[in-house]
Structure 1
Amino acid sequence: MPRTSARPRRLISASAPAKVRAVAAVEPGVLDPQAWLVRTAKLPLWPLTAMFALMPLWWGLGVFYFVWPFFGMVLLALLTTRGDVRLPTGTWLWFILLGLVVISATRLDRATSLAVFGLRLSHLCTALIVGVYVYNVARDRASWVKIANPLAFFWLGMVALGWCGVLFPKFSAPSPFELLLPQGVQSERFITDLVRLDTTEFNKLSNNPIYRPAAPYPFTNNWGTAYSFLVPFVLAYLTSVRRGKMRIVLLVSLPLSLVPAFLTLNRGMFIGLGAGVLYLLGREIAKGRVRLLLPIAAIVLAGWIVTLFIPVVDLITNRTSTTDTTSDRFDLYVQTWAAVLHSPLLGFGQPNSVDTTHAAEPLGTQGMIWQLLYSHGIPATVCFYVLLLLLARRLAGAVTPAGLWLSALPVIAAVVTPFYAYIDPNMSVLLFAVGLGLAAVDGPVNREPKPGLEVHP
């Protein structure tokens, strides 16, 4: 007589909804049965929605940079409460980086610098928490669309604010948060830049000044950095989701975003995106595939059409020929490296001035590599680049078009480091998208266990 079990067994097939596809195929390492187990206590998505989708609200209140760490603490509390947290590739290396950053605080020359140092450190911690949170939510097999929507709304908000810079370039007003700050705090240039509502960045010292879209960021370079991180994410969304209102909105927003993007005149943004495209094309051609040629050709065509109305090349050439931005940057890099040699292990804790080439010796600014070197030393800088290398290597396991787009993010992040720093909300944007890609490569995303695999309730 055959044995029977008091607890019925459930067999779940490995079928994925036609509406949503996984970002990458399951890797061999996922054959471990534990990888298919779903956590009983699922992480909620509302913190990600409040954090990313409501970004225009936080900017309008003037608390965009300051509310970010509080959401990071909420995500950490939820992860800690749920427990059984999976750690994605590079997490321990990230912990080492944070440890080096904390130790570098001993090099600060005055106690008042601790507030700014703490803000930057909190953004680094928040970015790690966001990446881990997204990774665990995706590995719990929550809907990929629902997980990605908060970042999609962030993109839409950034494009909308970019267009505000195009249509209302001279808009400038104090935010509600700025009005509440003590007079002494308002006089701090760094704080004023973060809390004031400016749709554009405008350099009065330029011989040919131009209003460059910047909102929700204080500087247009931050906008360009976010754009270079978000475009691959949007393309991944469009190639993995075949229907729905968000897909339609993103399809419309992508070509519309080219206008504020081009008007930023951010050379580093174009270099970063170009490097990402070349990286993907090289990988595809090496494998004898050409499936990305069509979408890349469509993007290039859309960009070329925009240049018919916006003389981007002429504007950039005019800007570089009528300002000292290139020579200023090169001189800044030389001075920064000379200063780093005086404190190569721990740096100086933070940059010693505001983020502008016309400030007196703004060492440690104008690029992620320079900020890391000057603020936290050579070991921390090496640690960061090794981390990007590990992420790129792991994401290289992606096989679908959507996964390929996300795999370009570590490459783009590395290429833009000489030009842009992103120890701010953009680091969370980067690790949000990277977390999605890692989850898809490391385990089942939006799919059920394989046929015949037993799952007990």
Structure 2
Amino acid sequence: MSSTATRRGSAHVVARAVGRVEEGVLDPTAWRVRIPRLPVWPLVAMFTLMPIWWVLGVFFIVWPFFGVVLFVLLTVRGKVLRPTGTMLFLIFLGIVLVSATRLEHLTSVVLFALRLGHLITAFLVGVYVYNLAREGTPWARIVNPLLVFWLCMVAFGWFGVLFPKFSVASPFQILLPDGIASERYITDITSLDATEFNKLSANPIYRPSAPFPYTNNWGTAYCFLVPFVLACLTVVRRRWMMITLLVSLPLSIVPAYLTLNRGMFIGLACGVLYLLLREIGRGRVRLLLPVAGILLIGWVVTLFVPVFDLITSRTQTTYSNRDRFDLYAQTWAAVMHSPLLGFGQPNQVDTTFAAEPLGTQGMVWQLLYSHGIPATICFYLIFAVIARRMSTAVTRAGLWLSALPVVAVVVTPFYSFLSPIMSVLFCGIGLGLAAVDGPINRSSA
């Protein structure tokens, strides 16, 4: 057979083989590896089901386990996008981990692991939400779990207003061994208390705290959630959700006022002032109307709740200010004895009138005392780079979310948020960073 005939025969064989191939196999896109989408159910389990975790007494205990779930899902998926500040946060976590060498007791190791778990979980929540938004998951599906968390927190706040003396041991607390249950911090985070009540005050008042152990926790979470809710109002298209959020905001002011958290007012005021100055500097005044509306509603509520009189009475009949300044001085003096790594964890729990509760009553003091000066500097650098990146936001939703790192920094001298509250903060930050880093799907379908 001639070479020409051989080539013709081969051509027919190839043609027949190609003809029998399934349609689409030769399409290059058919062989691309498709990265699976991240599910939203972990956020639902964390934020939407928060009332269940609180009733069981495991709200703070179960939180780090959700971090493990997020880590597994991100690892299995692969191709994880890293938001601004990721490397700084990993360096910060490394320093915190090394500071564990300063711990002296087994119970201290357990509490350190719990707080470290809250830190890691907050970081993973931010990364997870960032990737959800960047891969096109609808905005409504991402924000709904945290919006339900907000509504539940407002409901718990009113529960504290209406039933201020409610206080029972949780099922989890009952099952704990006496040695662990007697640890003051464990007792606080596993008890079911509607309010925080200072018996040593000359003018005691029940201040809403549920679902958190301390009323300062409630105020800190409120600082972070209000800008988030305002951001969602600009994009939510479902009428029932919009009406619910619009009603919940003025309703939340009453329990917020009754917490008497001065740092909460300062944090929110600084966040709003930051946004107004930015907008005015760019020649825009679109925020003036909603801010004026919020201030008006707040002023109307003060006609029924004498919040300023209550705060004045509290500061005059307690030693809150004196105790705090004395605590800060003692904490700084102690830090000078271990400036690089601190002491691993606070000396005692976050409560006024405790004997030398060093490393409490503020995030900055907890970081300095527990993990040292380098960790504290790294922590503030994280929020600096995040704030700078989020300042490029141009949408109304992105604008409100850009206030979160500013509010977080402002409240650090007054309140600590090394708890599930930090995950609340980084959920909003992750969404805000996704908004400025690329197009996201804001459809509420």
Which residues of 2 match residues 310-389 of structure 1 at below 5 A?
Answer: 310-389=305-384
SS of 2:372's equivalent? helix
What SS is found at the alignment partner of 1:173? strand
Q: Could you give the per-residue CA deviations for residues 331-384 of structure 1, whole angstroms, max 9, x where no partner exists? A: 100111011111100000000111112111111000000000000000000000
Q: Does 1:108 align with 2:126?
A: no
Is the contact between residue 140 and residue 442 of structure 2 (CA under 8 Å) also seen in structure 1?
no
Q: Which residue of 2 aligns with 1:147?
A: 142
In the alignment, which of 181, 189, 196 is matched to residue 176 of structure 2?
181
Q: Which has the larger radius of gyration?
A: 2
Q: Which amino acid aligns with 2:167?
A: S
- Change over 3 Å in CA distance of 1:312–1:278 after alignment to 2: same
Q: Give the aligned partner of residue 391 of structure 1.
A: 386
CA contact (8 A) 2:57 2:171 kept: yes
Cα deviation digits, residues 227-264 of structure 1 (max 9, x gap): 00000000000012233322221111111000000000
Residues 356 and 447 (structure 1), Cα distance of their counterparts in 2 relative to 1, 3 Å cut:
closer
Match of 1:71 in 2: 66
SS in 2 for 1:197: strand
SS state of the match for residue 326, structure 2?
A: helix
* Stretch of structure 1 that moved more, 136-145 or 183-192: 183-192
How far off its partner does 1:110 sit?
A: 2.0
Of the candidates 411, 416, 429, which is equivalent to residue 411 of structure 2? 416
Distance 1:81 1:246 in 2: 34
Aligned residues of 2:401 and 2:432 also touching (Cα < 8 A): yes
1:58 and 2:48 are equivalent in the alignment: no
Amino acid at match of 1:270: F
Secondary structure at the aligned position of 1:209 is classed as coil
Q: Give the structure 2 partner of residue 215 of structure 1.
A: 210
The answer as to whether partners of 2:271 and 2:407 remain within 8 angstroms in 1 is: yes
2-structure distance, mates of 1:8, 1:181: 59
Aligned residues of 1:39 and 1:140 also touching (Cα < 8 A): no
Tell me, yes or no, if structure 1 residue 86 matches structure 2 residue 81: yes
One-letter code of the match for 2:245? L
Instruction: Give CA-to-partner distance per residue, 1:132-178, whole Å, 9 cap, x none.
Output: 00000110110001100000011011100011000000000111111
Partner of 1:122: 117
Q: Which runs of no fewer than 5 residues in structure 2 stay unpaired?
A: 1-23
Counterpart selection for 2:286 from 287, 291, 300: 291
* Partner AA of 1:121 in structure 2: L
How big is each residue's C-alpha offset from its partner over 1:260-290, in whole Å with a ceiling of 9 and x where there is no partner? Answer: 0000000000000000000000000000100
Q: Tell me what 1:257 maps to.
A: 252
Aligned to 2:41: 46
What do the CA deviations read for 1:87-136 (whole angstroms, capped 9, x no partner)?
10001100000000001111112232100000000000000111100000
* Other structure's SS at 2:234 match: helix
Q: What is the CA RMSD across the aligned residues, in angstroms?
A: 1.7
Does the 8 A contact of 1:235 with 1:405 survive in 2? yes
User: How far 1:402 moved relative to its partner?
Assistant: 1.0
SS in 2 for 1:257: helix
Greater relative contact order (Cα < 8 A, sep 6+): 1
Q: Conserved in 2, the CA contact under 8 Å of 1:38 and 1:141?
A: no
Distance 1:277 1:243 in 2: 26
**235, 260, 272: which one aligns with 1:277:** 272
Alpha-carbon distance, 1:8 to partner: 10
Quickly say closer, same or farther: Cα 1:313–1:370, change in 2 above 3 A.
Answer: same
Residue of structure 1 in register with 2:221 after alignment: 226
Output the amino acid matched with 1:403: G
SS of aligned partner of 2:270:
helix
Which amino acid is the alignment partner of residue 371 of structure 2?
A: H
Q: Does the 8 Å CA contact 2:160/2:209 hold for their aligned counterparts?
A: yes
Is the contact between residue 172 and residue 196 of structure 1 (CA under 8 Å) also seen in structure 2? yes
Question: d(CA) in 1 for partners of 2:61 and 2:367?
Answer: 21
Determine the structure 2 residue equivalent to 1:21: none
User: Does the 8 Å contact 1:38/1:140 carry over to 2?
Assistant: no
> 1:240 is paired with a residue of what secondary structure?
coil
Structure 1 letter corresponding to 2:284: R
State the match for 2:15 in structure 1.
none
When you count helix as a share of all residues, which structure comes out higher? 2
**Structure 1 residue 38 displacement after superposition:** 11
Distance 1:447 1:294 in 2: 24
Alpha-carbon contact 1:225-1:269 (below 8 Å) kept: yes
TM-score normalized by structure 2? 0.92
Letter in 1 for 2:114: L
Q: How does 1:237-256 map to 2 (within 5 A)?
A: 237-256=232-251
d(CA) in 2 for partners of 1:94 and 1:302?
38
Q: In 1, are the aligned partners of 2:160 and 2:194 still within 8 Å (CA)?
A: yes
